[in-house]
Amino acid sequence: MSEDDPERLETRTVDPGRPAPLYAAVERTLEQAIAGGRLAPGTVLTEGPVAALFGSSRTPVRTAMGELAARGMLERFAGRGFLVPGGEAPRRVKLTPAMLGLEEGAPEPQMGAAERIARDFEGSVARALPFGLFRVHEQAAADHYDVSRNVIRELLSRLQDRGLVQKNPRSHWMIGPLTARDVAHYFAIREALEPLALAESAPRLPGRELADMLERVVAAQEEPDDLPPPVIEELESDLHVRLLAASPNPHLLRMIRQSQIALVVNRVFAEFVGSRPFALAMGEHRIVLEFLTRGSWQAGADAMAEHMRLSAERTRRRLMAVSVFPQPELPGYLIRESN
């Protein structure tokens, strides 16, 4: 998997110097089309026709549909494509720009303020988490991104749902600290729930999608140089997000997502030391995916549980290592507090 893969890096610039992922614009457009009734219940959506309307590759469309499925806005369909929920029977129709709220020849949809800054904002929050207790200064964050405080509050509410931030008794938004005890508790939840979601989800996924995940991890293992952190993050998302997203239980997926906060330790660790320490984890990813591509669903779930058990100890050690790293440069809207 190359850092120069055009499908992985495909973005659209929404204002000078601020590239934003196209998948977020696709996700927003599809969500609005579903909510507005332009995509009727039961409508079948597949990657190719949607990508053609956006003039993009399938990669951002695949990501957008996966996010919508995780939120219950779409349902997996017969191992291939997605359904708009609520229909009595699948409806295969020819998609038109009007069905997505697009006009013929219109430019691709522009990102909203929250979507434009969401990834950078979340990244800053995640980098701070292992390094102590921080308070988010709403107005300073709004000034930093040149948006309203309401936009910052919307993003903070999203991060609160995922357990990345919380409000203290004075209604201040707080980050961290993430402790070894927290890591142990989160991994106990993940070890119990992720294999359950995998057993429900993997049989619903297209075989080609599982094969693509396996190909990516094999390519990563064969890469002689350190993998960039975004590639490690993508491989983690394959196993712990995309592989589970077809579970029909949205409550289960929400609980898993809230327990995956400890993944930020690995993200920060990779930024400091590179990808070589992740070789063992990639081997475990490969074992899980090899079972699944052979249709051995329970064996894959058991391998996932073992991966969670081993990852818990590795992440605990990494958290201890991160504690002696110098604090990364953080934006001024994150104010360090005494514990």
Q: Is residue 106 part of a domain?
A: no
- Residue 288: the pLDDT is 96
Query: Does the CA dihedral 5-6-10-12 come out positive or negative?
Result: positive
Q: Is residue 105 part of a domain?
A: no
List phi, psi (to 5°) of 334: -100, 110
- Tens-digit pLDDT profile for residues 131-156: 889 999 999 999 999 888 888 988 89
- Residue 295: the pLDDT is 95
Q: Is residue 147 part of a domain?
A: yes
Q: Are 200 and 263 part of one and the same domain?
A: yes
Q: Are 223 and 312 part of one and the same domain?
A: yes
Counting Cα atoms < 13 Å in the Cβ hemisphere of 300 gives: 27
Q: How far apart are the first and last CA of the chain?
A: 42
Q: Are 316 and 332 part of one and the same domain?
A: no
Q: Are 150 and 224 part of one and the same domain?
A: no
Please give the chain's pLDDT, 339 residues, in tens: 333 333 333 333 334 344 446 778 888 889 888 888 888 888 889 888 888 888 777 777 888 888 888 778 888 776 567 888 877 777 888 888 888 887 644 444 455 667 678 878 888 888 888 788 999 999 999 999 988 888 898 889 878 877 788 898 889 999 888 788 888 888 999 999 999 999 999 998 888 889 988 988 898 888 766 667 667 777 888 899 889 988 988 889 888 888 887 676 666 666 665 545 577 888 999 999 999 999 999 999 999 999 999 988 888 887 777 777 777 788 999 999 876
Contact call for residues 41 and 89 (beta carbons, < 8 A): no
Q: How many domains does the chain divide into? A: 3
Q: Provide the mean pLDDT of the chain.
A: 80
Containing domain of residue 87, as a range?
6-100
Q: What is the pTM of this model?
A: 0.59
**What is the rounded CA–CA span in Å between residue 125 and residue 114?**
15
**What is the rounded CA–CA span in Å between residue 273 and residue 226?**
9
Q: Are 191 and 80 part of one and the same domain?
A: no
Strands, DSSP E only, in 137-206?
A: 166-167, 173-175
- Residue 80: the pLDDT is 64
Q: Is residue 298 part of a domain?
A: yes
- Residue 302: the pLDDT is 96
**What is the rounded CA–CA span in Å between residue 126 and residue 131?**
10
- Residue 229: the pLDDT is 67
Q: Are 289 and 200 part of one and the same domain?
A: yes
Q: Are 314 and 184 part of one and the same domain?
A: yes
Q: Is residue 263 part of a domain?
A: yes
Counting Cα atoms < 13 Å in the Cβ hemisphere of 156 gives: 23
- CATH number of the domain at 33, please: 1.10.10.10
- Residue 120: the pLDDT is 84
Q: Are 185 and 164 part of one and the same domain?
A: no
Q: Of 203, 217, 235, whose CA–CA distance to 299 is shortest?
A: 203
**21 sits in which H/E element:** strand 18-21
Tokens standing for 247? 């579970």
- Residue 178: the pLDDT is 79
- Output the CA angle 291-293-294, nearest 5 degrees: 65
Furthest CA-CA distance within the chain: 58
**221 sits in which H/E element:** helix 207-222
List phi, psi (to 5°) of 228: -65, 150
Tokens standing for 318? 């990494």
Q: Are 91 and 39 part of one and the same domain?
A: yes
Q: Are 302 and 275 part of one and the same domain?
A: yes
